[in-house]
Structure 1
Amino acid sequence: MLNRLPADERRAQLVESALALAERGGVGAVTVRAVAEHAGVSLGVVHYCFDSKEALVVAMAETLIDQLGEAMNAAFDLPDDGPDTQGLIGLRQLLHAGLTAMWPALEFTAGRQLLTYEITAYSLRHRGAASASNGVDGQVASGDIATLQYQRMDEHASGFLVACAERSATEWIEPVSSLARLALALLDGLVLRWLVDQDNDAVVIELDNLAGIIASRAAERP
């Protein structure tokens, strides 16, 4: 049965096996042999789906990016029948609600959040290195992973900021793209610090401070 899986399902299975290995032992623990053993398939099956470890790491990163994007979309989706939140106070409430809604997903996937940082570092180390996948059939090279990750996150965050301003009858006094970059940089730092000390009480305060910092870059519409 294992050998009869459709190609897309097989690739997804192998990526999940690679992610499970990496959560426990980091990217260095991901080898073709280890993935094959974890997934219960032959080495040839892994080689058929991924021509190199780099290709497998890229697929891992793309899966993490998609999962994070889904979490951001779910948290940042403002309900049509939400409370009447007008003005700067309302804007801050909306920002805080989105951030706090997103946090449980980050906390629940702590191992994958840590892996995201590691893959980002892996990507930056490989940036500029020659890669056979560069520019081939639209494939992403390992050195491009970090760029793709933050581009996707910027898109989700920018959309959320625009929606919050529209809902609260406010307007941003700085470019939305810059604010999204700032918010994500601060959130990155909060997540990394939480991974270090697991201080949930501090996170509650820090998320509120983050909402306040971003809201201070807005003004009420005339």
Structure 2
Amino acid sequence: MLNKLPVDERRAQLVECALDLAERGGISAVTVRAVAAHAGVSLGMVHYCFEGKDELLAAMAERLVLELSASARQVFAAVREAPEVSGVRGLRELLQSGVDGMWSTMEANPNRRLLTYEITTHALRFRAAGSPPTGAVADEQYAVMDAEVSAFLDECAERTETTWTEPVAVIAHRSLAALDGLVLRWLVDRNTEAIRAELDEVVLAITSKAVEKPPGRPVPRAS
């Protein structure tokens, strides 16, 4: 029965098995033999679906990118259900809700986030060694998150009748860099209280880049 799965379903199953192994033992735990054993299939089946470990790791990274994107959209969708607010103060409330939601998602599954960093580092090493296709995984991950956060910032500004004083892409890039650093620090010391305070500072920093639109006269947005 297992051997009759369509190739795309088989690939998805093997990627999930590989992610499970990596969450528990890191990338080094992901071998073709280990994935085959964990999935209950032959070595030949794994090789049929993936040329080797590198292609499997790339597929794992793509799955993580999709998960990050879906998680961000879910959090941001919940923020859309918040009561109507306006002005810079209202903008801060929406941003705080979004950041808190993203943090809660990360905190609920730290091993998955740690694995994301590990695969990103692996991809960057391949890029430095002259393997652009594998290295592109890191670029894709951050491009997706930049786009999701930029869209969220735009929507928050529109809802609160505020406008950004810098290009929203720049603000999103800077915000994600700050959040990345905080997540990594938390993975090291698990000091949630300290990180929560730092997250508040990040929200304040983002909010400082917005102003309220004058009544009846739209403020030119940064482009």
Q: The TM-score by the shorter chain falls in which range?
A: over 0.9
User: Equivalents in 2 of 1:11, 1:80: separation in Å?
Assistant: 35
User: Equivalents in 2 of 1:81, 1:191: separation in Å?
Assistant: 26
Q: Deviations over 1:166-188 (max 9, x none)?
A: 01110000011100001100110
Deviation at 1:2, TM superposition (A): 0.9
- After superposition, residues 55-134 of structure 1 pair within 5 angstroms as 55-77=55-77, 82-131=82-131
Instruction: Out of 161-170 and 17-26, give the one that drifted further.
Output: 17-26
On the 8 A contact 1:11/1:49 being kept in 2, the answer is yes
Equivalent of residue 163 in structure 2, options 171, 174, 184? 171
Q: Report percent identity of matched pairs.
A: 54
Q: Structure 2 length normalisation: TM-score?
A: 0.92
Secondary structure, aligned partner of 2:163: strand
Amino acid at match of 2:157: A
User: Equivalents in 1 of 2:67, 2:29: separation in Å?
Assistant: 21
User: Equivalents in 1 of 2:22, 2:80: separation in Å?
Assistant: 40
User: Equivalents in 1 of 2:9, 2:81: separation in Å?
Assistant: 38
Are 2:163 and 1:182 aligned?
Answer: no
Counterpart in the other structure of 2:196: 204
Structure 2 residues without counterparts, runs of 5 or longer: 215-223
On the 8 A contact 1:77/1:160 being kept in 2, the answer is no
Q: Structure 1 length normalisation: TM-score?
A: 0.92
The 1:78/1:168 distance shift into structure 2, 3 A limit, reads farther
Deviation at 1:13, TM superposition (A): 0.8
On the 8 A contact 1:32/1:43 being kept in 2, the answer is yes
Deviation at 1:79, TM superposition (A): 5.5
Secondary structure, aligned partner of 1:72: helix
The 1:34/1:209 distance shift into structure 2, 3 A limit, reads same
Amino acid at match of 1:160: F
User: Equivalents in 2 of 1:92, 1:26: separation in Å?
Assistant: 37
Deviation at 1:101, TM superposition (A): 1.3
User: Equivalents in 2 of 1:106, 1:37: separation in Å?
Assistant: 29
Deviation at 1:128, TM superposition (A): 4.8
The 1:214/1:66 distance shift into structure 2, 3 A limit, reads same
Give the count of matched residue pairs. 214
On the 8 A contact 1:65/1:149 being kept in 2, the answer is yes
The 1:97/1:49 distance shift into structure 2, 3 A limit, reads same
User: Equivalents in 2 of 1:81, 1:145: separation in Å?
Assistant: 33
Deviation at 1:198, TM superposition (A): 1.2
On the 8 A contact 2:165/2:209 being kept in 1, the answer is yes
